[in-house]
């Protein structure tokens, strides 16, 4: 009887190592079909899950309360599983090189709790070769076993899109790979238990690793092109959104928009590919050029905030600016590698006091990561400028009339009619992703700017 059959009959267990935005949906989904052990080194995180609190907001509190998955921070429980899925973060260092320490740490934990005839599948984004050249030696050293004889490995790149309620785990085709035909077939069948869209069997582990790392690199490059267009059109006095709408009427025009590119995927993965390229003697041109543009967009936005404030006759040093949204993308609580922080840091250098509102973010996590504290929306008053950085659903219900009341009303710098605005005075509204209607905003007296 194969390992797949044993898992299906609940005679063998699946373990998920890393219970974040990728690992938690996997644990919840697999628990509907098999016995699951969910492991994370963070006791605090696990305790939240045991209370039924979905801190990822990916599956919901009810799903966690009702799941049969067992959550633990104690690694000894991994000895009870024979099919392991590693879904830990793969960030970058400050010098933009891959930080494989979380992955290596996970390999050590799995290795010292490995039992024979196990299969380990990696989902963390890496450059081609990491699974076989870096992970396998650690597993062998920690376990004392031999890969290919005592255990086998595979790779199945994660395709979770945080905050996306349409493209869920089960709805996206899953790329799978194994070190040989036997492991590939078992891995494919195990994932087919939960992936309704089906699986794609990659030619090799390295092919699967490469496929993942170029998915986000492609998107990064396309967004970088949009950001560059935004910079150009801004200098021309053209509304980028209007230009893209016109161009979008052609059937084969790709639908991308300018914006801040952060997070733990698009803003990180290209550096894994370029790192490996440099290692084999090739210096990336297009990929790194795109990364440079996207990495500098926070500073670019901040510069335009200051320009608009000067145009509105606002004293920059000592001014108050509210920022709505601090996560790396909309409808997601994740603040890792968010480029909104780049805007904050740049404005702080000008002596601006920043007030951040984000209903999705954990205040303690934000402060621990960046030293930034959140404000309640009711505390936002007497502002000199407001930036809508992330278009959360919660913000879409805000009316411009209410936003208008959040500004400093008694300043001589402001004249609320449109005539004054055109003369260089007004209330500064920076709407990065175009959450509001530009024409309506300008008619209400806002000095409006967006990418």
pTM, entire model: 0.89
pLDDT-derived band at 390 (thresholds 50, 70, 90) equals: very high
- What whole-number percentage of the chain has pLDDT above 90? 87
Output the 3-class SS for the chain. CCHHHHHHCCCCEEEEECCCCCHHHHHHHHCCCCEEEEECCCHHHHHHHHCCCCCCCCCCHHHHHHCCCEEECCHHHHHHEEEEEECCCCCECCCCCECCHHHHHHHHHHHCCCCCCEEEEECCCCCCCHHHHHHHHHHHHHHCCCECCCEEEEECCCCCCCCCCCCCHHHCCEEEEECCHHHHHHHHHHHHCCCCCCEEECCCHHHHHHHHHHHHHHHHHHHHHHHHHHHHHHHHCCCHHHHHHHHCCCCCCCCCCCCCCCCCCCCCHHHHHHHHHHHCCCCCCHHHHHHHHHHCHHHHHHHHHHHHHHHCCCCCCCCEEEEECCCCCCCCCCCCCCCHHHHHHHHHHCCCEEEEECCCCCHHHHHHHHCCCECCHHHCCCECEEEECCCCHHHHCCCHHHHHCCECCCCCCCCCCHHHHHCCCCEEEEECCCCCCHHHHHHCCEEEECC
- pLDDT tens digits along 361-389: 989 889 999 999 999 999 999 999 999 99
Neighbours of 387 (CB within 10 A): 26
pLDDT-derived band at 347 (thresholds 50, 70, 90) equals: very high
334 vs 392: CA distance, rounded Å? 12
Average pLDDT over residues 217-230: 96
Catalytic residue among 107, 265, 332, 375: 265
pLDDT-derived band at 262 (thresholds 50, 70, 90) equals: confident
Average pLDDT over residues 382-410: 92
Structural domains in the chain plus CATH codes: 3-208 (3.40.50.720), 296-449 (3.40.50.720)
403 vs 430: CA distance, rounded Å? 12
| pLDDT of 207 over the 60 cut | yes
Tokens of 100: 């494989």
Average pLDDT over residues 395-409: 92
pLDDT-derived band at 163 (thresholds 50, 70, 90) equals: low
- pLDDT tens digits along 67-112: 999 999 999 999 999 999 999 999 999 899 999 999 999 999 999 9
347 vs 344: CA distance, rounded Å? 5
How far are the Cα atoms of 131, 167, 356, 392, 401 from residue 359, in angstroms, in the given order? 38, 23, 10, 9, 20
Tokens of 101: 């320490």
Q: Identify the pLDDT of residue 425.
A: 52
> How many residues would you count in the chain?
451
pLDDT-derived band at 167 (thresholds 50, 70, 90) equals: confident
Q: Identify the pLDDT of residue 160.
A: 77
| pLDDT of 228 over the 90 cut | yes
Q: Is 265 a catalytic residue?
A: yes
């Amino acid at each position: 009887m194969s390992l797949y059959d044993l898992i299906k009959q609940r005679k063998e267990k699946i373990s998920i190592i890393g219970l974040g935005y990728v690992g938690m949906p996997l644990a919840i989904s697999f628990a509907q079909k098999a016995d699951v052990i969910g492991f994370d080194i963070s006791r605090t995180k696990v305790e939240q899950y045991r209370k039924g609190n979905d801190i990822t907001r990916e599956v919901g509190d009810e799903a966690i309360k009702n799941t049969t998955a067992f959550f633990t921070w104690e690694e000894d429980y991994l000895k009870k599983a024979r099919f392991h899925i590693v879904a830990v973060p793969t960030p970058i260092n400050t010098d933009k090189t891959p930080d494989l320490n979380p992955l290596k740490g996970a390999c050590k934990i799995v290795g010292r709790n490995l039992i024979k005839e196990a299969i380990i599948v990696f989902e963390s984004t890496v450059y081609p070769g990491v699974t076989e050249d870096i992970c396998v030696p650690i597993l062998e050293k920690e376990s004392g076993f031999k890969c290919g004889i005592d255990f086998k490995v595979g790779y199945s790149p994660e395709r979770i899109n945080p905050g996306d309620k349409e493209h869920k785990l089960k709805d996206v085709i899953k790329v799978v790979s194994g070190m040989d035909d036997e492991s590939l077939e078992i891995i494919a069948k195990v994932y087919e238990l939960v992936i309704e869209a089906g699986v794609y069997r990659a030619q090799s582990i390295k092919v699967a690793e490469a496929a993942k790392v170029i998915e986000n690199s492609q998107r990064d490059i396309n967004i970088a092109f949009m950001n560059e267009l935004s910079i150009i059109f801004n200098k021309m006095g053209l509304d980028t959104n209007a230009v893209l709408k016109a161009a979008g009427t052609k059937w084969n025009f790709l639908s991308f928009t300018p914006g801040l590119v952060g997070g733990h995927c698009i803003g990180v993965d290209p550096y894994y590919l370029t790192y490996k390229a440099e290692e084999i003697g090739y210096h990336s041109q297009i990929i790194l050029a795109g990364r440079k543009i996207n990495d500098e967009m926070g500073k670019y936005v901040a510069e335009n905030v200051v320009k608009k404030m000067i145009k509105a006759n606002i004293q920059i040093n000592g001014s108050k600016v509210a920022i709505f949204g601090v996560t790396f993308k909309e409808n997601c609580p994740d603040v890792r590698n968010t480029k909104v922080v780049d805007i904050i840091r740049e404005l702080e250098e000008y002596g601006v006091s920043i007030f951040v509102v984000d209903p999705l973010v954990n205040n303690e996590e934000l402060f621990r990561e960046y030293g930034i504290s959140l404000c309640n929306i009711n505390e936002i008053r007497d502002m000199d400028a407001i930036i809508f950085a992330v278009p959360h659903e919660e913000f879409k219900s805000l009316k411009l009339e209410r936003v208008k009341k959040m500004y400093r009303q008694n300043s001589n710098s402001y004249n609320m009619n449109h005539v004054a605005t055109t003369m260089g005075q007004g209330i500064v509204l920076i709407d990065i992703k175009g959450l509001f209607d530009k024409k309506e905003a300008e008619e209400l007296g806002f000095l409006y700017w967006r990418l």
